[in-house]
């Protein structure tokens, strides 16, 4: 008899966790498992990449009202006599505005958020909150399942989350999965009593799929000029991804006379401030924010270098993808960088500053033989992680 699985995720907008889930769902044996997916927002560029076997779970009409603008949702709840939901919606907004730490905000507004969500009727063999915070809280509070699993895609120490808030939720999980050994060590530091529950399952990446998609055409209007060094970064436009440092590094390189075209694929809340920084340094023809691309691989494939300037990462899927495409890689020294890059062997790890990023890029620009050696070493590595799905089957 097939087992019934539920995955929970905020949405399928562009992001490492979202891409990781789509990759995992593409590897599941649907002869053995029925899969439901609950999304708080049924949107995102990865929606049309879901396997056809995945069933999207509908949410209650109250949640449709809850997700509208504040005034409209409060007005509708009051008109229906649902005063408690109107109050919860108001407090959700008040607390979100009052709490400046985004991670804390999502945690401490959950008690209002959950009021608009019903407990699911179906009983599952396993329910998996595939992203930290709300996805895990939903599984604990709103799902009936034989096993409950939480998935942490970031280094907990750098996440900004409150471990005091997470303790009672994590205690109710059967397993707590994370994506690298460094991330597991971080979880051990905060939740020592859960040592036996913490498991490492790497993000699933498929070299065959990536190479196939990399042969597609890039969108019209983006020119990879062979007269320039073309750099690609795949990242959300948010502080932790370090795009501000990338812009400053680009400025330093251009000021030295290097012909640079740097393309960033992704979107996020810092877009406007980053655009302003690009304009301030007059880098409009050198540094471009291209937005989210459903298929980023043709861009990565055409790049001369791949750069990940992050302040912190869980385990970067984008770095694994650049490795699969045999690109010379420069990454900053975030804590999990050494899980993926061996400095001087299959990439460069540099200090976390614009100056160091620029110097690392310049070193590669001036040594084509070094670029070729890094690419050659990557070509000899075994980089696919499709077999990680077996680790999930074991804990199910």
Q: How many CA atoms lie within 13 A of 49 on its CB side?
A: 21
Give pLDDT tens digits for 267-285.
999 999 999 999 999 999 9
pLDDT at 259: 97
pLDDT at 241: 96
State the pLDDT confidence band at 45, using cuts at 50, 70 and 90: confident
Eight-state DSSP code of residue 48:
G
Any idea what the Cα angle at residue 245 is, between residues 242 and 248, rounded to 5°? 155
- List, in sequence order, every beta strand (DSSP E) within 190-343: 198-200, 229-234, 260-265, 287-291, 305-308, 329-332
Neighbours of 259 (CB within 10 A): 13
- List, in sequence order, every beta strand (DSSP E) within the chain: 3-9, 33-39, 55-56, 123-129, 144-152, 175-178, 198-200, 229-234, 260-265, 287-291, 305-308, 329-332, 348-350
Mean pLDDT of 17-29: 93
State the pLDDT confidence band at 386, using cuts at 50, 70 and 90: confident
> Domains of the chain (ranges plus CATH)?
3-206+387-395 (3.40.50.2000), 207-379 (3.40.50.2000)
Please tell me the least confidently modeled range out of 12-26, 71-85, 102-116, 186-200.
12-26
367/363 Cα distance (integer angstroms) = 6
Is residue 265 within 8 A of residue 231, CB to CB? The reply is: no
Contacts of 29 (CB under 8 A, 6+ apart): 393
pLDDT at 144: 99
153/54 Cα distance (integer angstroms) = 22
pLDDT at 49: 86
312/214 Cα distance (integer angstroms) = 27
State the alpha helices, DSSP H only, in 172-306: 181-190, 207-214, 243-255, 271-280, 297-302
Give pLDDT tens digits for 150-180.
999 999 998 999 999 999 999 999 999 999 9
- Helix then strand count (H, E) for the chain reads 17, 13
123/212 Cα distance (integer angstroms) = 39
- Percentage of residues in the chain having pLDDT higher than 70: 100
Q: pLDDT at residue 220 above 80? A: no
Helix (H) or strand (E) holding 57: none
State the pLDDT confidence band at 44, using cuts at 50, 70 and 90: confident
**Mean pLDDT for all residues in the chain:** 95
Give exposure, 88-119, as e/b (b: 16+ Cβ within 10 Å).
bbbbbbebeeeeeeebbbbbbbbebbbbbbee
State the pLDDT confidence band at 291, using cuts at 50, 70 and 90: very high
Give pLDDT tens digits for 46-98.
898 899 999 999 988 999 999 999 999 999 999 999 999 999 999 999 999 99
273/260 Cα distance (integer angstroms) = 21
Mean pLDDT of 212-236: 90
pTM comes to 0.88
Give pLDDT tens digits for 90-144.
999 999 999 989 899 999 999 999 999 999 999 999 999 999 999 999 999 999 9
pLDDT at 389: 95
Residue of higher predicted confidence among 349 and 223: 349
234/265 Cα distance (integer angstroms) = 5
Q: pLDDT at residue 221 above 90? A: no
Any idea what the Cα angle at residue 332 is, between residues 330 and 333, rounded to 5°? 130
Biggest CA–CA distance in the chain, Å, is 72
Q: How many CA atoms lie within 13 A of 266 on its CB side?
A: 21
Q: pLDDT at residue 223 above 90? A: no
Mean pLDDT of 297-308: 97
């Amino acid at each position: 008899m097939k087992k019934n699985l539920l995955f929970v995720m905020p949405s399928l907008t562009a992001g490492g966790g979202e891409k990781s889930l789509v990759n995992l769902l593409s590897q599941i044996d649907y002869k053995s498992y029925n899969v439901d997916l609950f999304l708080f927002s049924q949107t995102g560029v990865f929606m049309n990449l879901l396997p056809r076997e995945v069933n999207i779970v509908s949410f209650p009409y109250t949640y449709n009202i809850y997700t509208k603008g504040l005034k409209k949702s409060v007005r509708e709840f009051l008109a229906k006599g649902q005063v408690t939901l109107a109050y919860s919606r108001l407090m959700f907004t008040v607390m979100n505005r009052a709490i400046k730490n985004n991670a804390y905000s999502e945690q401490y507004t959950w008690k209002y958020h959950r009021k608009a969500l019903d407990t699911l009727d179906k009983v599952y063999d396993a329910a998996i909150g595939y992203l930290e915070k709300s996805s895990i809280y939903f599984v604990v509070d709103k799902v009936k399942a034989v096993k409950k699993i939480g998935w942490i895609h970031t280094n907990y120490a750098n996440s900004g989350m409150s471990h005091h808030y997470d303790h009672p939720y994590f205690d109710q999980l059967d397993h707590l999965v994370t994506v690298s050994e460094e991330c597991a060590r971080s979880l051990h530091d905060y939740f020592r009593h859960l040592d036996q529950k913490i498991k490492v399952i790497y993000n699933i990446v498929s070299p065959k799929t990536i190479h196939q998609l990399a042969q597609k055409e890039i969108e019209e209007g983006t020119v990879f000029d062979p007269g320039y060094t073309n750099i690609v970064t795949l990242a959300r436009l948010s502080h932790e991804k370090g795009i501000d440092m990338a812009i400053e590094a680009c400025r330093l390189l251009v000021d030295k006379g290097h012909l640079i075209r740097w393309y960033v694929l992704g979107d996020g809340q810092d877009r406007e401030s980053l655009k302003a920084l690009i304009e301030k340094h007059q880098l409009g023809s050198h540094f471009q924010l291209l937005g989210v691309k459903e298929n980023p691989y043709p861009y990565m494939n055409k790049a001369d270098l791949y750069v990940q300037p992050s302040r912190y990462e869980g385990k970067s899927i984008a770095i694994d993808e650049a490795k699969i495409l045999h690109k010379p890689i420069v990454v900053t020294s975030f804590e999990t960088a050494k899980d993926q890059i061996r400095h001087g062997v299959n990439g460069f790890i540099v200090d976390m500053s614009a100056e160091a990023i620029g110097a690392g890029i310049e070193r590669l620009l001036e040594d084509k033989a070094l670029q070729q050696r890094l690419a050659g070493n990557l070509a000899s590595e075994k980089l696919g992680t499709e077999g990680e799905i077996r680790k999930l089957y074991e804990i199910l």
